[in-house]
Amino acid sequence: MTVRTEIADGVALVTLDRPARHNAIDLATAGELAATWRAFRSDDAVRAAVLTGAGGRAFSTGIDRSVEVPQPASPFSLDDPLLRIGPKTNDLWKPVVAAVDGMACGGAFYLLGEAEFIIAATTATFFDPHTTYGMVSAYEAIHMAQRMPFGEVARMSLMGTAERLGAARAYEIGLVSELAEPGAVTAAALRCAAVLAAQPTEAVQGTVRALWAAKEAVRAQALAHAPQLIALGNLPPDRQAELFRARRQSGTEAPDFRVR
């Protein structure tokens, strides 16, 4: 199992448990996440949830690049294994708090985009590597555009690996609602979730639905365009792989960025 779940006092702690891979999401993990959220829908012992990543180095770095997902030849179709990993796409309307320690990038935004709010370590960083590797940031950019000022999400999405959004700036712009010391983020998120779980559950879930209704129409319309934008704008997979290999061979994959 690559997703650990612990339930106590109405709060479920969901942990992505692939620290050796920076909690990158493979097909098995994607399936486990979807199954977890759907199970919570009918589990009255769960009234709120916290989502985090194991190891402290990363919340998640998105899809595991070792995963092979065959794609249809049509530019109007796209098979994306991350589409169903979030709580809202699995029709879960119990509140979810994300606890980010370390890096959160790329496909991690599918999850952060569907949390009610985010608590992050003071050392956390957020970035989107897609453009650097010849890929369109579509779903990721759309999810973050619901949570960040346009100029900030545009900068993050377009700068690729050249820049990372630091926790302090993420807090300033409202992406993150609270900062905590490294190692204390999950505890801070669990404290918030305990408050949510103690409230009358129908009122909490109704408020969650109301909050999402305020932006859901725009988000749904934008997401509908994502498959075509990706199919038309992505470099061929072999060219993407070349870009990944070139960065690893040059030794610049980790250090050639700045945090702001």
For residue range 127-160, what is the model confidence (pLDDT) as tens digits? 999 999 999 999 999 999 999 999 999 999 999 9
Here the CATH number for the domain that contains residue 184 is 3.90.226.10
The residue segments making up the domain with residue 180 are 3-198
pLDDT in the model for residue 18? 98
Residue 86 falls inside a structural domain: yes
pLDDT in the model for residue 253? 52
- pLDDT tens for each residue of 162-172: 999 999 999 99
Residue 238 falls inside a structural domain: no
Residue 134 falls inside a structural domain: yes
- Specify which of 72-76, 173-177, 224-228 reaches the highest per-range mean pLDDT: 173-177
Residue 224 falls inside a structural domain: no
Identify the band that residue 250 occupies on the pLDDT scale cut at 50, 70 and 90. low
Residue 137 falls inside a structural domain: yes
Q: From 68, 80, 69, 63, select the one nearest 29 (Cα to Cα).
A: 63
Residue 237 falls inside a structural domain: no
pLDDT in the model for residue 129? 96
Number of domains in the chain: 1
Identify the band that residue 43 occupies on the pLDDT scale cut at 50, 70 and 90. very high
Please tell me the pTM assigned to this model.
Answer: 0.91
Q: From 10, 165, 25, 12, select the one nearest 2 (Cα to Cα).
A: 25
Q: From 98, 118, 121, 94, select the one nearest 209 (Cα to Cα).
A: 94
Q: Report the residue count for the chain.
A: 260
Residue 207 falls inside a structural domain: no
Phi, psi of 113 (to 5 degrees): -70, -15
Residue 21 falls inside a structural domain: yes
- pLDDT tens for each residue of 59-104: 999 999 888 777 777 767 677 889 999 999 999 999 999 999 999 9
